[in-house]
Structure 1
Amino acid sequence: DLGHTPFGHVGEEVLNELYKPGFSHNEQSRRVVEKLEKDGHGLNLTWEVRDGILNHSKDIEDIQGEGGGEPGTLEGAVVKISDSVAYINHDIDDAIRAGMITEGDLPVLAIAKLGNTHSRRINTMVCDIIEHSWTVRGEGTENPAITMSPETLEATNNLRHFLYERVYNIRSAQEESERAREIVRSLYQHFNEYEDKMPPEYSFYSDKVERRVVDYIAGMTDLYAMRMAEEISPPKLQPEQKSPKAPKDKPPEIQSPTMF
């Protein structure tokens, strides 16, 4: 998830809309390790690691679907399915703590199959993956795979669909989400106009300005993006306050930030 934007998938959607070639966090993750790290030289990672980074995303309908990419190694497949086990269960806990859902809201059939507590659900999923992935030993099969049983996979997908309906999509409709979109848009527009205001490390490589701006924004945390947006677009002054006029061709001064 090195390529995840500030504000998660909301930020990713905005960058994908603004940047014509398109943007996806898994491709950005690979770009980080292949090009952006070490002052534009990238890291000396093996093909297997880079392939796992690129293909860790999941299909919208099925965590084992091919829509998010298919890892070329068994190790990559382990990472991909483990990510699903982790975030589904932790997001349930986070949503309950935030008061967005209750334990009683969870899909009855999925909970009956997987377990009614955080630890039981993880244990069920992990044990099921181990039990149904023995073919990777290479005994009697030409296509070894890291997989779940059909029953556990169905229950896991149902839990994930529930989270999309009751948590993820609801968050996207909230006022905070629109504010996040405004922040990403303003940062993109500002730094495309004033590229010299980006940190010097984003001038070490020869890509076009738009590409380097996307790299810069994608590397920000939520708090850093909010702070930067305030610096380039400060809150309007109260009526009784007066603001000194600045030259029209001079952009707001921005402190040199630390790269994330």
Structure 2
Amino acid sequence: MLFPRERLLELEAERLAPYAQRARDTRGREHPEAEPAYRTPYQKDRDRILHTTAFRRLEYKTQVFPIFTYRGEGPIYGGDYYRTRLTHTLEVAQVSRSIARALGLNEDLTEAIALSHDLGHPPFGHTGEKVLHGLMENHGGFEHNAQALRILTRLEVRYPGFRGLNLTHEVLEGIATHEAAYAPHFKPGYEGKGTLEAQVVDLSDAIAYAAHDLDDGLRSGLLRPEGLVEVPLLRDLAREEGLDFLRFSELSRRVLVRQLLGYLIAAAIGATHAQVAAAGVQSAESVRRHPERLASLTPEAEKALHELKAFLMERLYRHPEVLRERRKAEAVLEGLFAAYTRYPEILPKEVQAQIPEEGLYRAVCDYVAGMTDRYALEAYRRLFP
């Protein structure tokens, strides 16, 4: 039995909730092209994203703990176990699909948005984004959601007929409305809230990084198990599972993080379903036009997540070891940016070729933002031995 695209679109339309975005209702692509025989448009988008250079580079971009650090002799490998920007992306995709499936949303669209939501992140995590934004302050700024759109619409050149990936309107919209503040980068005057699929990805991002940063913090030893008692939700989950923070094993950590994820995912499904029912939305367009975002947590879970984030900010993200690595990252990016803008002749020829069209600073920014941590550290070592 075969399931060609038209049959897949029919089956999708039959099983999705009224407020879900159906692939058959896509607003299409900027450049018309034939759709594949056995994939829907959003499945095609997902596959195109997976095959990009930018997606592969996420493997060696920092989430919180650097995979590579810098010593005088050059980049030093930091270990296999901590999350990278790639594994974070995959975890967001998993959480997003779990929530989307329960709510009757379009899983293919949800996955495509989730897999692309962090493509614009530079090396060294949020430190890298902050540094590049400062360096580009007088040249249009830098923001990772806007950079993801640049990558997907301009910088990835994989097809002869157009620049970018020529993704559907809805996937690009999902990236632009991520974190709810960057839609002007998508379409001038756009004021929508995005599809519910896009909103679910945004919420899943917050759920995933809180859980896996807790996991990595405990694994690293920078977070001590006995300190978790300060977070009411973690204290309650530990009590339910019979975990003792004073005798906390590797298995205890895994159980706690799993229970945390399960609690937050269930809260997201329940609260979002209630919000959708209360709003009475009956189409993807009515979700976009609703005055408030509908994907949410229960008030109790929202409060608990806020407390967990505050704990992680104080005990992990501001830990002296983490801050020390951030200072190194700042020095590396500032050094690279200064050298490339002062001496553009040392840039690769393909980057130099972009300067007349993009301008020197934007071309350098695109180049540096696309680097992995390892590549940036090695480039710095070559310039400043």
TM class by shorter chain equals 0.7 to 0.9
Q: 1:49 offset after TM fit, Å?
A: 1.1
Q: What per-residue deviation string (whole Å, max 9, x for no partner) do you get for residues 40-90 of structure 1?
A: 81111122211222332389xxxxxxxxx9841101011111111111111
Alignment pair present for 1:154 and 2:303: yes
Over 3 Å counting, the alpha-carbon distance change for 1:140 and 1:210 in structure 2 is: closer
Q: Deviations over 1:145-197 (max 9, x none)?
A: 22111011110111111111111133587332222111101110111123233
* Residues 1:38 and 2:157 are matched in the alignment: yes
Given that 1:5 and 1:217 are in contact with CA atoms closer than 8 Å, whether structure 2 keeps it comes out as yes
Q: Which of 33, 49, 67 does residue 171 from structure 2 map onto? A: 49
Cα–Cα, structure 1 residues 171 and 209, in superposed 2: closer, same or farther, change >3 Å? farther
Question: What is the distance in 2 between the residues matched to 1:15 and 1:82?
Answer: 26
- Post-superposition Cα deviations, 1:105-161, rounded to whole Å, max 9, x if no partner, equal 123312245x23111111111111111222576676245822111011110111111
Q: Does 1:15 align with 2:132?
A: yes
1:1-260 matches, cutoff 5 A: 1-19=118-136, 20=138, 21-38=140-157, 41-57=163-179, 71-106=193-228, 107-112=230-235, 115-116=237-238, 117-135=256-274, 141-142=280-281, 143=290, 145-170=294-319, 174-202=323-351, 203-204=353-354, 206-234=357-385
**Alpha-carbon distance change, 137 to 156 in structure 1, aligned in 2, over 3 angstroms:** closer
Question: What SS does the aligned partner of 1:4 have?
Answer: coil
Say if 1:210 and 1:108 are closer, same or farther in 2 by CA, change over 3 A.
Answer: closer
Do 1:10 and 1:172's aligned partners in 2 also have CA atoms closer than 8 Å? no
> SS of the residue aligned with 1:38?
coil
* Contact in 1 for aligned 2:153/2:163 (Cα 8 Å): yes
Deviates more, 1:120-129 or 1:166-175: 166-175
Give the whole-Å Cα distance in 2 for the aligned partners of 1:31 and 1:56: 15
Q: Secondary structure at the match of 1:174?
A: helix
Q: Secondary structure of the equivalent of 1:133? A: helix
**Change in CA separation of 1:18 and 1:141 when aligned onto 2, cut-off 3 Å:** same
Find runs of 4+ consecutive structure 1 residues off by over 4 angstroms.
Answer: 135-140
- Read off the aligned partner of 1:53 and give its amino acid letter: I
Contact 1:171 / 1:177 at 8 angstroms: preserved in 2? no
The 1-side partners of 2:192 and 2:205 are apart by: 14
Structure 2: segments with no counterpart, 5+ residues: 1-117, 182-190, 239-255, 282-289
The TM-score with structure 2 as length reference comes to: 0.54
Gaps of 5+ in 1: 60-68, 235-260
RMSD (Å), alpha carbons: 2.5
Distance in structure 1 (CA, Å) of the matches to 2:155 and 2:174: 18
Are 2:151 and 2:164, in contact at CA under 8 Å, matched by a contact in 1? Answer: yes
Alpha-carbon distance in 2 for matches of 1:140, 1:71: 14
- What letter matches 1:217 in structure 2? V
Which deviates the most, 171-180 or 44-53? 171-180
More helix, by proportion: 2
Match of 1:245 in 2: none
Q: Quick one: which amino acid aligns to residue 27 of structure 1?
A: A
Question: Identity, % of aligned pairs?
Answer: 34
2:225 is matched by which residue type in structure 1? E
How many equivalent pairs are there? 224
Amino acid across the alignment from 2:234: I
Distance in 1 between residues matched to 2:173 and 2:320, nearest whole Å:
31
Give the direction of change, closer, same or farther, for the CA distance of 1:58–1:121 in structure 2 (3 Å limit). farther
